[in-house]
Amino acid sequence: MKIVLKNLTKVFVNKKTKSEVRAVDNLDIEIPDGKLVGLLGPSGCGKSTTLFMISGLQAPTAGQIYFGDLDVTQLAPEKRGIGLVFQNYALYPHMTVEQNIKFPLTNMRVSKKEADERCLNAARLVQIDNLLDRKPNELSGGQQQRVAIARALVKNPNVLLLDEPLSNLDARLRLQTREEIKRIQRETGVTTVFVTHDQEEAMSISDFIVVMKEGVMQQVDVPQKVYDDPVNLFVAKFLGTPPINVFLGEIRDHKVYINNEPIMDTEFEDQEVYVGVRPEGFVVSDKGVLSCEIYQLEVMGRDISIISKNPASEKPTIRSIVDADVKVPASGIVKFNLKPNKVYLFNRQTEYRLGKEPLVKPEEVSETEATEATLEN
């Protein structure tokens, strides 16, 4: 089921002060049928609010929501054909796993025979069919998560909505469960919207990611494209582990300078810029173009993490990742060449990446002029 959001906006009003907060601001996006899309951003960016508007739990202040060609903006949640998995699982503690999974079918008045069959199929899909007689408190966090997913899938929903479903799990279990979510989505083919603040989660399982900040969509594309081709400094900083290194730089006579060292040529005109360099974009060389002072080395098996300093760095230290067989001095000055495809230039005032069209604020254009970001199959 294709999902289309048109000019979707949610404004919360403080009853006492009458002040307004735009949790979601003019969101235009099309989610193709059968795809898994990650809504990604920091806390308070509007991603969960967007999910709750899609589900029908919250009404939008403005805009429309379509499932296929059907406008569901005013439809009650139970009439939208959705499966919703909450962050805290929301299982009934007094019921068995089987009863929890069947609960939506009871409300739908599905016959016992069909309910038994659908429950077993859903349990097998998430690989908990051997746990049907247990209570939630007898299950691990990962198993409880699978029960919640089975309960959402047993309704045969058109759309599956997951609100930060892995945040309560430990690191190893998160890895296993996100792999399971991807497998389940592929097997069912149900259109899925996955909310997370963890960029590694979003990039690993999503067909597309939507990066949000303060209610506004910043960029939407396949995960690797967003990582390799960020439109602004926020997106560049938000994606990547370790995060991108940012320097204060300037362009003079079509050369980019960091701390008065010319690091590369450019087609852009003279201006002050932020220079972003991914950790994997550094190459140790005696004739390197960028000089840094070594602070610490971390040997991590196949890689060495070089932690160094440069007066132009936005943060106290810079982190560079190089192969473990590269000879790196233990102290003193290290020189780097930079891989051009790992270096990004951003306007110092607007923070837009040079050469990218800036995002136009919704209030600056008419509704018909607003550009709709569309995810293509």
pLDDT in tens, 288-305: 999 999 999 999 889 999
| pLDDT value for 225 | 96
| pLDDT value for 15 | 85
| pLDDT value for 369 | 40
pLDDT in tens, 1-37: 999 999 999 999 988 888 999 999 999 999 999 999 9
| pLDDT value for 168 | 76
First and final C-alpha spacing in the chain = 13
| pLDDT value for 358 | 61
| pLDDT value for 245 | 98
pLDDT in tens, the chain (377 residues): 999 999 999 999 988 888 999 999 999 999 999 999 999 999 999 999 999 999 999 999 999 999 999 999 999 999 999 999 988 888 999 999 999 999 999 888 899 999 999 999 999 999 999 999 999 999 988 899 899 999 999 999 999 999 988 887 777 788 888 888 999 999 999 999 999 998 888 999 999 999 999 999 999 999 999 999 999 999 999 999 899 999 999 999 999 999 999 999 999 999 999 999 999 999 999 999 999 999 999 998 899 999 999 999 999 999 999 999 999 988 999 999 999 999 999 999 999 999 985 645 444 443 434 334 444 44
Q: In what order do the strands lie in the sheet with 282-284?
A: 282-284, 333-338, 290-300, 303-309, 318-323
Dist. CA 99–CA 101, nearest whole Å: 5
| pLDDT value for 362 | 40
Residue with structure tokens 């759309």?
Answer: 159
3-class state of residue 141 by DSSP: helix
| pLDDT value for 169 | 78
| pLDDT value for 86 | 87
Distances (CA, A) of 158 to 28, 31, 68, 299, 330: 20, 13, 10, 48, 57
| pLDDT value for 357 | 59
Please answer whether residues 255 and 266 qualify as being in contact, where contact means their C-beta atoms are separated by less than 8 angstroms: yes
Angle, helices 112-125 vs 171-188, to 10°: value is 130
Set out the domains of the chain in order of their start, with CATH numbers.
Answer: 3-233 (3.40.50.300), 244-348 (2.40.50.140)
Neighbours of 259 (CB within 10 A): 15
Which run of H or of E encompasses 355?
none
3-class state of residue 245 by DSSP: strand
| pLDDT value for 167 | 80
